[in-house]
Amino acid sequence: MGLIDYLIMIIYFAFVLGIGWILRRFMKNANAFLEAGRSMPAWVAGLAFISTNLGALEVMGMTGSGLKYGMMTTHFYLIGAIPAMIFLSLFMMPFYYGSKARSVPEFLKLRYDEKTRGLNAVMFTFMTVLASGISMYALAILMEKVLGWDFNLSLWISAIIVLIYTYLGGLSSAIYNEVLQFFIIVLGLLPIVFLSLHDVGGWSGLKESLAPITQAKGYASDTWLTTWKYTGQASSNPMGVEWFGILFGLGFVLSFGYWCTNFLIVQRAFAAESHSAARKVPLIGALPKMFIPALIVIPGIISLVLLNDPSKGFDLPKDAAGNPVYDYTIIMLLKQYLPTGVLGLGITALLASFMSGMAGNVSAFNTVWTYDIYQSYIRPATGNDEADGKHYLLVGRIATVCGILASIGAAYIASKFGNIMDFLQTIFSMINAPLFAVIFLGMFWKRTTGHAAFTGLLTGLIVALLHHGLTIPEGASTLVKGGWLGSLHVYPVEMAQNFWTAIFAFSSATIVTVVLSFMTKGTKSDEDLKGLVYSLTPRTLQEDVPWYQRPAGMAVIVGLIFIVLSILFW
């Protein structure tokens, strides 16, 4: 790191804090602070939609997973994202935005009842704190390994910076910073792709170098560069899961649960300026989403070649058991390839991605805490809109501070896992999977009742915890990875365990909700359910814009690109 590298970082921090400072004067009530006044253009919300996902999970976790699992990691970008994003745009966003709900838990109240909203709100706040902590942990080890700063000092500095701009500008500040961070991430990581690929002799050189390495691991020579080809048996691929687990566990349960019900992501579409804009947000985000593997996964795969070539001088830190810590992959690539000046841009790109993840989770946390917990159970609205708006603005800002502090504690938990993507997928499989079952049934089956939804949501969470507690991934060295109730089954790797946790959670929540819906009586009339259930909601068509600017037309374009990419990397 030279003077110019530090200068690039300082300029970035000045922009980040400056955006918060400029927007602070518009934060006059809770609506502006927590919902961005529902005023964001579709393209801004769309880039923020994907940038929020482009945090520590994406950049640090997915690069490490590229090394660990190969091209199969792109399942999280294609089958694990695109169908769900199209579904969110065409079918679910009209209900979310049209209901005027301020959060996913509030939508559950409108569709079901108060207790279902309360349970999901508590589950969601727990999840966002853990996810924000993962981003903090990633940022701290980046500063520790590249800048030589103390881990604990780095953790607190990163937390304070995010706290300042989120506290000042609320959701608007987080969204505009996420758009800025998206472009910085792309520009900062692009040089690594070209330099690392050139270093191994291009794509053909990569294939040739990987062949003996993968064969030595007991796999076919091209396993690390394929997605579906070797999923006939779990033992034939590094992810340790067969095609059904990928298709149903990731492609349906985890992906639809994440992209369609996770308020952290959906909140960006909630902030759009109109119903039409809100529906376009996921599709705008889907376009860059499909090409991000080129920035992140391919350098991770190249790292496997570098690790097995002593002449490259590339190495990863090891954990107590002697296993490589995959989370460090992107950091070591930065140090390997980027010279002074360019290194500053690469480091800034990582800082941007981690801050995007932190701010996104904190802004979602303060909204759910303020509206779905504090306003609902501690201090209801008085009816004085001006006074209530100022009071809940203060509560939202206090929640921002508390969320940051709780996330610091979660960062230390994340440090025990070894691969933050595996850790995040563990959380999502427990919380998002049963939530998707409940919301999906509620939107498309008017018979679903509040008592059934609450019980199904709780059952799914309990079953997920039991499955995780009774199974372990092979070589697990910490109870965070499972087995804290015993060991009835050993999975080849953590990701296989996560996929099946999601399948069990979703299936149990679905079965319980359906059975109890037949046994209980709903409290909502057909009139109450208009705009909340598909069969009771009038369809709206856009006739005044070209077909390719309508959500359905855009969905066709996104779907065709998805199919082509899936075939190319089969």
Tokens of 487: 């060991």
Instruction: Quote the pLDDT of residue 406.
Output: 86
Give the tens place of pLDDT for each residue, 257-312: 888 887 777 877 877 878 788 888 889 988 888 888 888 899 989 988 888 888 87
- The band of 362, judged by pLDDT with boundaries at 50, 70 and 90, is confident
| Predicted confidence (pLDDT) at residue 537 exceeds the cutoff of 80 | no
Tokens of 28: 């006059």
The sign of the CA dihedral 123, 124, 125, 129 is positive
CB atoms within 10 A of CB 439: 26
Instruction: Quote the pLDDT of residue 69.
Output: 87
Range 31-48 average pLDDT: 73
As a whole number of angstroms, the distance between CA 162 and CA 180 comes to 14
Instruction: Quote the pLDDT of residue 563.
Output: 92
Find which of 171-185, 221-235, 331-345 is predicted with most confidence, using mean pLDDT: 221-235
The DSSP annotation for 1-13 comes to --HHHHHHHHHHH
Weakest-pLDDT range from 25-39, 77-91, 119-133, 166-180: 25-39
pLDDT greater at residue 239 or residue 556 = 556
- The band of 557, judged by pLDDT with boundaries at 50, 70 and 90, is very high
Answer for the pair 376, 119: CB distance below 8 angstroms, yes or no. no
Identify the CA nearest to 223 among candidates 296, 295, 301, 333.
Answer: 301
Instruction: Quote the pLDDT of residue 507.
Output: 93
Identify the CA nearest to 371 among candidates 3, 83, 29, 24.
Answer: 29
Assessment of whether the complete model's pTM goes beyond 0.85 = no
Distance from CA of residue 70 to its chain's centroid?
20
- The band of 546, judged by pLDDT with boundaries at 50, 70 and 90, is confident
Find which of 235-239, 357-361, 387-391, 440-444 is predicted with most confidence, using mean pLDDT: 440-444
Answer for the pair 319, 418: CB distance below 8 angstroms, yes or no. yes
Three-state DSSP state, 19: helix
Instruction: Quote the pLDDT of residue 421.
Output: 66
Range 218-247 average pLDDT: 84
Q: Which residues of 481-493 are buried (b: 16+ CB within 10 A; e: fewer)?
A: bbbeeeeeeebbb
Range 153-171 average pLDDT: 77
Weakest-pLDDT range from 75-79, 98-102, 493-497: 98-102
Instruction: Quote the pLDDT of residue 543.
Output: 57
Range 346-350 average pLDDT: 77
Radius of gyration (C-alpha) of the chain in whole angstroms: 23
| Predicted confidence (pLDDT) at residue 351 exceeds the cutoff of 80 | no
- The band of 497, judged by pLDDT with boundaries at 50, 70 and 90, is confident
DSSP-derived letter for residue 472 is E
Q: Domains along the chain?
A: 3-24+42-568 (1.20.1730.10)
Q: H or E stretch including 137?
A: helix 114-142
Answer for the pair 60, 333: CB distance below 8 angstroms, yes or no. no
Give the tens place of pLDDT for each residue, 379-433: 888 878 788 878 888 888 888 888 888 888 888 777 665 556 667 778 888 888 8
Answer for the pair 497, 473: CB distance below 8 angstroms, yes or no. yes
Give the tens place of pLDDT for each residue, 187-211: 888 888 898 898 888 888 888 988 8
Which residues 6+ apart lie within 8 Å of 327 measured at CB?
60, 61, 64, 138, 141, 418, 419, 420
In the predicted model, what is the mean pLDDT of the chain?
Answer: 82
As a whole number of angstroms, the distance between CA 241 and CA 73 comes to 12
pLDDT greater at residue 351 or residue 121 = 121
The DSSP annotation for 380-428 comes to ---S-HHHHHHHHHHHHHHHHHHHHHHHHHHHHHHTTTS-HHHHHHHHH
Q: Phi and psi dihedrals of 329, rounded to 5?
A: -55, -50
Rounded alpha-carbon distances, angstroms, from residue 228 to 84, 221, 247, 253, 566: 19, 15, 10, 18, 9
Answer for the pair 305, 213: CB distance below 8 angstroms, yes or no. yes
Distance from CA of residue 475 to its chain's centroid?
26
- The band of 32, judged by pLDDT with boundaries at 50, 70 and 90, is low
Q: Count, in order, helices (H) and strands (E) of the chain.
A: 23, 2
What is the biggest distance separating any 2 CA atoms in the chain, rounded to whole angstroms?
71
SS3 sequence of 209-239: HHHHHHHHCCCCCCHHHCCCCCCCCHHHCCC
Strands (E), 354-452: none
Instruction: Quote the pLDDT of residue 242.
Output: 84
The DSSP annotation for 246-294 comes to IIIIIIIIIHHHHHHH-HHHHHHHHTBSSHHHHHHHHHHHHHHHTTTHH
In DSSP terms, 473 is beta-bridged to 491
Instruction: Quote the pLDDT of residue 394.
Output: 87
Range 43-71 average pLDDT: 80
Give the tens place of pLDDT for each residue, 4-15: 888 888 888 787
Range 501-514 average pLDDT: 93
